[in-house]
Each structure stands twice: as structure tokens, then as C-alpha cells.
Amino acid sequence: MSELVDQARQWIDGDPDPTTRAELTALIESGDHTELADRMDGGLDFGTAGLRGLMGAGSNRINRATVIRTTRGLADYLVDRYGGVPENPVVVGRDARVGSSVFMGDVVGVLLGAGLSVKVWEEVVPTPLLAYAVTASGACAGVMITASHNPPLYNGYKVFDHNGAQIIPPVDTAIAEAIDRVAPAITVPYHHPSADLMAEPIPPQVLDDYRNRLSRLRTPLETDPDQGIVYTPLHGVGWRYIKDLFAEAGYRNVHPVEPQIEPDGRFPTLPFPNPEEPGAMDLAIARAEETDADLVLANDPDADRLGVAVPSASGWVRLTGNQIGVLLIDHLLSRSDLPSHPPPLIVSTIVSSPLAERVAHAHGARFETTLTGFKWIMKAALDVESTGQGTFVFGFEEALGYAIGGLNRDKDGLSAALLMADLSSEARREGQTILDRLESIYRRHGLWVSVQKGIVRPGPEGAVEIESAMTYLGNHPPDSLGEKKVGSVTDYRKGADSRPAWLGAANLIALELPGGGRMLARPSGTEPKLKIYMDATRPLAIADDPARIESVMVREAETAVSELVDHIGL
């Protein structure tokens, strides 16, 4: 234990923040070596998503020392990449989480201390707008202080490359190696903004340009100004921007969820500010019932994701990310002004519904499948466009992330919200609802259901269990699942050289099922769990009741998933 205590004292000596120094000192004095070990268990791993973790003292937490060393490592990487201090700035922004303002100040101070120029979004800002500002400002990189939809005790550090997309390998590895070479945070050169050297504000023209470009990308239609819309930013930063976007688009009947519209990193009305979580949209749905609204829209706290709920005969229904994705694909590809040469390009991840590919192909679009993560969606979009073999129109992942081609190179919950309002408006003009549109897609391409299950196995022993289960599945796939025979098996741990870069090596195994269905298994990249995804499909006859058949299919899919869990011994 003396080695652990010595390690903690070394960290304290290098920490410039008296608050976290005192926090770790008190932990040493308390004798709680279990908690101390957790705080000092290596460090947060810098990857393609940057950093994300609990705030607090220690090398395994988000704190000022972590942010300072990470920023110096990023600065050193940029100087090395550009063969000297880059002429173009780094753009920096933050969400409204506790600590984000201080961390952003550290990012700016360290970048200035390294001799780089900096542009900052002075107010709290949605992540998609920071990403947009990277390309709009001609920046060499972007840094966003955010933990997106994580609980209130988390924060994070997200890095964008010069093209406005998330970093991908080998850039993440090069930055991580540069961070490892940085001395203790207290020794890192730091320039407090002054009259002779300070960050420039990002000009308002960047936001104006975003709005104008989004307006040009929307499907030409007459906005239904009377459509009732309820919106919540879940205590995040979205309301100010959504309010203006919707007003400019002509939507005047928009009702915010008052207890949740102000940015508040404590998230006082909900423990998990994620639109995917059960209960996260309850206040918004209650507001919709009060106002007799037609549509509920919810952004997560940094407004890069979008949740949607719609009314039905039996009450309000939350749409899944797959349902929102295929609705928007169908909506965008129905435009008469889309060019056919090169063809429109739709991109989605391997764990998203195969229905997306069917809808895209029915419209004559090219479709690309990627590994999980928006970084790979944009890798595919940029690479295909660079060869002249497609024009990127839309990308999505089932975890409520969407991007419109020609606007942003990361997921964008603001533009997706406006497109869903447009889709609903168009359906209303035709005497339909969003659920009618979804049923129409199902009748053309088959009814699809998606089921997910996570098997949690914490600790080092759990990691071994999960990896053993993956190895067993790869070597001994089942012959059948439920009443369906298993067809081909693809082990994405192998054969990466024969696939495009955006669908390379991954710890993922896919089992193909009849009719286009499939089962996927992969370890989570952020949690101690094995994630299993099942997608099943069935044609719909004219007389079929989609709701009844869907409930049967979901039960069958859940049974098949349970069979797979038993088969791999978890």
C-alpha cells in the first residue's frame, strides 16, 4: 500500500488545483485504500472519443490536472503534425456541466501557453455547433468539454480533427502518446488571457452560416405553423438554439418543458439525462398531453442526440433510434431535386437496423455499413465522396445520433429535430401521422423489430468471462436460434484487410438469419458488459395488424437472445 500512497502523493505534488489536492490528501489520511486505488488506477484512456469519466481527484478522474496534461499533449501533437505551430486556430467550447467552464479555461490557457491561436465559443454551446465551427473557422482542431448524456458527476474532453469529424486511428494513438510524455500539470506552461494575448470569440456569422446552410438542405415544403411541438433540452444547452431555428422555419406552436429549459449541469429533474433512458421524456410527454401536441422532441444535454415521441390511439409512443433513422432516410431520399450521379449516399453502423439499407436501396441510393461510432460513419462518407462515387445525404446510428450531409460531420440533434418537425408537418398535410409513415415503410420493406440485451460482468474476472464467451461463439456458433436456422457467421476480429477502413477489425461476431435478420454480439467499449443485438423481419400482408405482429416478433426475438446467452455460457 505504501507504493499506492507514494503514487498518490506524487500526483498531489503535480496538481495545480488546491481543491483536488485536498480531496486526495483527505483520502490518503482516511486509510480508504480501495477508493484510493480506484482513483489512481492508471489513468483515463484517451481514445477516438477523447476522455470521459467521473470528476474528482486522481489520475483516473476528470480534473484540472487531467485536462491540462491532455491539452498540452494535444498541442504537442499539433505542432509535430504541422511541422511547427499551426497557423490555423483551435476552436474550443463547453456544455453546461459542473466544472465545464473551469476546464475550458484550462484548455485555452494551455493552448495559448503552447503558442497556438484559439477561438472560443463564449457561451455554452451544443457539440454539433462546435464541430461545425471547426470547418467554418478553418481550424486545425476542436476541443469540446462535455460528457454528453452521462450522469451529473461525469465530464469529458472531445477532440475534433481539422475536417470537423471526430478523430480516428492513428490520430488518437499519436495524441495519447504525446499526453504520456507531458510532465506533471503544475509544470505545464499556462498563459492567462491578457490584453496582448487572448482567445478570439467565434463570430456570430458562424451560427448564421449554420442556419442558412440547414435551411437550404431542408426538403422544400410549406411549414405547418399550427403543428403542436413540445421540446426539452433535458437541462442542456439546446433550447436557445432550437427556439431560433424553429421560429425561423415558421413553427410558432412550440412549447418548451419549463422545468428543463435552463442549462443546469446538476440535472435536477432526472438522474440520467439521456433520451434513450426510460422516464427521461416523461415531463415532455406530460406537457404534450396538456397542450394537445403532435410531436415531442428531446435533445440530450449537449444536443448531439435526438429522442422523439408521437401520439397513438393507445398513448404516447417513443420512437427508437432505428425508427427515426429510417423515417428520415425515406424523407430525405424522397426529394425530387437529389442528384442521381453520383448517387445519394446513406451511411449507418453495423448495429443499426438492416431496414435502413433496404429503404436506401429502394430509393436508388448507395449504402455503406460501418463499425459503431460516428467517427466511422463520417470516415465512410468523406472517403466515398472523395472518390466521386456518392454524395453524402444522411448518416445515423441506433443510439439516437443523426447527421445531414452537407451540414455537419458529427451527429447533430438540432438539425435532426427540425427535420423531424418537417417530416411530421408533411405527413399532417397529407392526412397522415408519423406512425402512418412508419407503417407505410414496413408494408413496403417488411416489419422489422430490434431487441438489445446487455449482460453485465464487472471486474477483471468479468472481462475474462466476456472474452471467453466471444471466443466460444466464434468457434462454436449455434445451429439455430428460436425457430430460425443460423446462416453465415462473420467474425469481425478477422479479415479486416478485405473490408473497407470504416468496417475494419472489431471485437464483434454476426450471425445471419433467414430473410435478412441477424444477431450481433460485441463487448461494450465503455461498460463491463457484453451487448447482444437482434434484428428480425417479417412481411406484412394487407390484412395484418402491425402492432399485434410486432409484439409477437419481439417476444420471439427476446427468446432467441436468451438462447444465445445460454449457448455462450453467460
**pLDDT tens for the chain, residues 1 to 570:** 688 999 999 999 999 999 999 999 999 999 888 899 999 988 898 987 899 999 999 999 999 999 999 999 999 999 999 999 999 999 999 999 999 999 999 999 999 999 999 999 999 999 999 999 999 999 999 999 999 999 999 999 999 999 999 999 999 999 999 999 999 999 999 998 665 667 899 999 999 999 999 999 887 777 888 999 999 999 999 999 999 999 999 999 999 999 999 999 999 999 899 999 999 999 999 999 999 999 999 999 999 999 999 999 999 999 999 999 999 999 999 987 777 789 999 999 999 999 999 999 999 999 999 999 999 999 999 999 999 999 999 999 999 999 999 999 999 999 999 999 999 999 999 999 999 999 999 999 999 999 999 999 988 889 899 999 999 999 999 999 988 899 999 999 999 999 999 999 999 999 999 888 999 999 987 778 999 999 999 999 888 889 899 999 999 999 999 999 999 998
* Dist CA 562 CA 570 (whole Å): 10
* Coil vs helix vs strand at 440: helix
What CATH class has 322-444? alpha beta
pLDDT of 48 reads 79
Question: Would you say 156 and 165 are in contact if contact means Cβ atoms under 8 Å apart?
Answer: no
- Residue 568's nearest CA partner among 463, 454, 474, 479 is 474
- Is the C-alpha dihedral spanning 379, 332, 304, 89 positive or negative? positive
Homologous superfamily of domain range 2-203: Alpha-D-Glucose-1,6-Bisphosphate, subunit A, domain 3 (3.40.120.10)
Q: Is the backbone peptide bond immediately before 342 cis, with ω within 30 degrees of 0?
A: yes
Instruction: Name 523's Cβ contacts closer than 8 Å, sequence gap at least 6.
Output: 466, 467, 470, 507, 529, 530, 531
Instruction: Name 418's Cβ contacts closer than 8 Å, sequence gap at least 6.
Output: 214, 218, 245, 246, 249
Enter the C-alpha cell of residue 248: 425561423
* Spacing of C-alpha 280 from chain mean position: 17
Residue entry with cell 471485437: 507
Q: Which residues are catalytic?
A: 148
- Same fold for the domain at 224-319 and the one at 322-444? yes
E strands in 272-321:
295-299, 306-312, 315-318
**489, amino acid identity:** V
* Spacing of C-alpha 286 from chain mean position: 26
Q: In this structure, what DSSP letter does residue 167 have?
A: P
Instruction: Name 376's Cβ contacts closer than 8 Å, sequence gap at least 6.
Output: 168, 349, 370, 502, 503
* Dist CA 314 CA 70 (whole Å): 51
136: left (phi over 0), alpha (psi -120 to 50) or beta: alpha
**221, amino acid identity:** L
Neighbours of 238 (CB within 10 A): 30
Q: What is the CATH number of domain 447-567?
A: 3.30.310
Instruction: Name 414's Cβ contacts closer than 8 Å, sequence gap at least 6.
Output: 126, 128, 129, 238, 241, 242, 245, 299, 303
pLDDT of 194 reads 62
Distances (CA, A) of 11 to 5, 21, 56, 65: 10, 8, 13, 9
Enter the C-alpha cell of residue 180: 504520456
pTM for this model (two decimals)? 0.95
Enter the C-alpha cell of residue 226: 399550427
Enter the C-alpha cell of residue 114: 503552447
* Coil vs helix vs strand at 342: coil
Neighbours of 35 (CB within 10 A): 13
Q: What is the CATH number of domain 224-319?
A: 3.40.120.10
- Is the C-alpha dihedral spanning 322, 323, 327, 330 positive or negative? positive
* Dist CA 201 CA 191 (whole Å): 17
- Residue 308's nearest CA partner among 143, 389, 442, 421 is 421
**382, amino acid identity:** L
- Is the C-alpha dihedral spanning 431, 437, 439, 442 positive or negative? positive
* Dist CA 231 CA 414 (whole Å): 11
End-to-end CA distance of the chain: 34
For the chain, the structural domain boundaries read 2-203, 224-319, 322-444, 447-567
